[in-house]
Chain A
Amino acid sequence: MGVWDHVIAGVLAVFQSDPVLGVPITILMVLGGFLLGITVGATPGLAGPMAMAISLPILISVFGYSNDALLPVLGFLIGIMKGATIGGAVPAILFNTPGTPDAYMTTLDGYPMAQKGEAKRALRVAHFSSASGDTFSDIVLVLCAPFLAILVESYLDLPEKTALLILSLAFIASVIGNSVGKGLISMGLGLLAAMVATGEDFYPRLTLGQPALAEGIPIAAAILGVLILGEVFKALEDIHHNGVFSSAAQTVRQDAKVGTLGLRKLLPYIGRSAVIGTCIGALPGVGSTLAATLGYTSAKRRHTKEKEPGAPDFGEGAPEGIAATEAANSSVSGANLIPVLSLGIPGNAAAVFLILAMDSIGGFNPGPSVFQLGGGISAGALNPEMVMAFGIFTTMFVANGLNWTIGGMFMRSVGVMARIPKERLLPIVLLLTLTAIYVQETSMVAVWITLFFGFVGYAMRRIDMSPLPFVIAFILGGNLEATARQAFAATGADPFFLFNSPIALAFIALAVAVVIFSLRKPAS
């Protein structure tokens, strides 16, 4: 079976999934996730990963652990991921409050436009730019991920794969956050947590004799605790100390007439930002906020040189500023699946939850082996993982189609979400998260473990240590150890197996270089 057979099978897996009300269930799930994503994106204090975290246990309860569950569940999560990015622009433009951190730059020009009575035009510019960047990024994903995976599988043996994982972790620890030292500490703690009760010996290591830990730390409890609860604890304390703010107080004049978008002027800004966002998104650990910042500053330089007389400057209501920001942050969402699907390495919080879903349901192990033509049960059979990968690509394009058709209309109707007070919403999110954990693990111990990791995540945020290296190292720790064990055995117990091959040596040298280079960046 050739590549095209897998592509067709992947597309059919989406469009021929069980119908509900005459519509294939996977398409319905992408639609549901996309609309939910726009809604949570438009709600300051919530974010895409939060909605993904809460939805996952419910989705698994509905669809179970069979192979048929994978595409509807991943479709829903991908829908949330994509919807949240465009939803974040809504309160940024209407209320000067970014719905998601990566929409901060959108406030700089979006809100001034809204104050001038051009809110609808600003929302349309944001939507068009976001959908364009997203589509571009997805096309790059489809073209790059399989080739990267095949390259990795063809040229990298076990020692090189171990070195590549070390390089990825070093890169993530170095680029996320303000301090490479704290990034490495966070990563080390994540690796340590991944080691609890996961060894090869019968004795459950590092459990301190606690039977509750004998099965290891529940992966969902640790991830949801650090990422979601930690953020909720911090946000509630900020409200406690700083008082309640009502973003809805700053309402704007709504324009009756939208006017033209001025696409000809916007396209160069969208194109440049889409390329920047895609390149940034493909690097593990570098998130959409940096992409938005780089896209905005690059566009600002161009705009200063080329703007027409009388046109507003960046920061004073220039639609080009919204276009540059939204194209850049949206183009991260497709590209960040390149390391997920080709290497099995999650690059940001959204990717973490996609991997968590794949890991929980089973039947799909993201990594270089996914795109092997000979991966089926016999020589001529389809590789089910490759079919699934093309099914995932199809759900992304379905989400794109929804974005182009109903995304703009829906995003203009969710402005009301910014009026929900955070101090009421976040405790409900917390209870929902704890309930989701209990439903999955059926044990109060798991709830306490989640709360413990919530306190860990809170403390990390307070000492300016990013929790993302912890989470990614926790996910990759088992894989890294298993690959290292195999490489050590395959090289005849060579203690220098990471330094004998030129490629592995280059990866290790790069890992050291990226840490040293990152030491030079100033703390912000």
Chain B
Amino acid sequence: MKLRLSADKWLALFFLAFALLVILVWAPLDTGTGLVEKVRRKFVIGDALGPTVAGAVIVIGALLVLLRPGTDKMISRENVVWLAALFFLFALSMVLMRYAGPVALAWSESGYRPLRATAPWHYIGFLIGGTVLVGGLTGFAKRQLSIREFAIGFAASLAIALLYDLPFDDLILPPNGDV
């Protein structure tokens, strides 16, 4: 016999399992002190109590959802595809942002690092990554990638870069603090 549960009940079971994992495995194994500790002959609250209480709150919430399931909204296959597309776009943009500058200056003797605070080199990663991110997201939303959206993305990235970089000497644009 196949078990048929509503979306909210599956959600409740998922969080119930997660909370039990927190209470029984994660909190005991990944904390330095127990629920209560004896320090200088006095009992004090240990580091494991907070996460255990948080887990208990999730358990109560999950049980209430099990008892009174509500609007039954769930993450659909379309949502998962959308999330995967977003993740792909973010990964691509971040890789471009992180490595575009060092790759562009790979030919030079000094490389990117000594020039990471010098215009125009320190804009390279941010502009390329930002253009792909803004243009790609707009294209995803409109179901149509176009040069125009990437041009708007470039203009927006440039405006944001100048907004932070021109007035403030001490601010570092991404990814220049990491390279």
Contact = CB atoms under 8 A, between A and B. Distances in A.
Interface residues of A, number: 71
Of B57, B66, B163, the most chain A CB neighbours within 10 A belong to B57
Interface in A118-151: none
Contact of B140 (A185, A240, A443, A488): A240
A57 to B, nearest CB: 9
A62 B137 CA distance: 30
Main secondary structure, interface of B, reads helix
A14 B148 CA distance: 46
A181 B65 contact: yes
B19 interface: yes
Interface in A429-445: 430-432, 434-435, 438-439, 442-444
B119 to A, nearest CB: 17
Interface residues of B, number: 82
A233 B86 contact: yes
B31 A199 contact: yes
A409 interface: no
A205 B57 contact: no
A63 to B, nearest CB: 11
Interface in A176-232: 178-189, 191-192, 194-195, 199-203, 205-208
B175 interface: yes
Main secondary structure, interface of A, reads helix
Given A244-B142, A463-B74, A201 B42 contact: no
B108 interface: no
Nearest to A200: B47
Interface stretch (A79-87, A316-324, A327-335, A477-485): A477-485
Nearest to A455: B83
Interface in B63-79: 63-68, 70-71, 73-75, 78-79
9 contacts: A184-B64, A189-B58, A195-B51, A206-B51, A236-B137, A237-B141, A447-B174, A462-B74, A462-B79
Interface of B: 7-8, 11-12, 15, 19, 22, 26-27, 30-33, 36, 42-48, 50-51, 53-68, 70-71, 73-75, 78-79, 82-83, 86-87, 90, 94, 98, 126, 130, 133-135, 137-138, 140-143, 149, 152-153, 156-157, 160, 163-164, 167-168, 170-175, 177-178
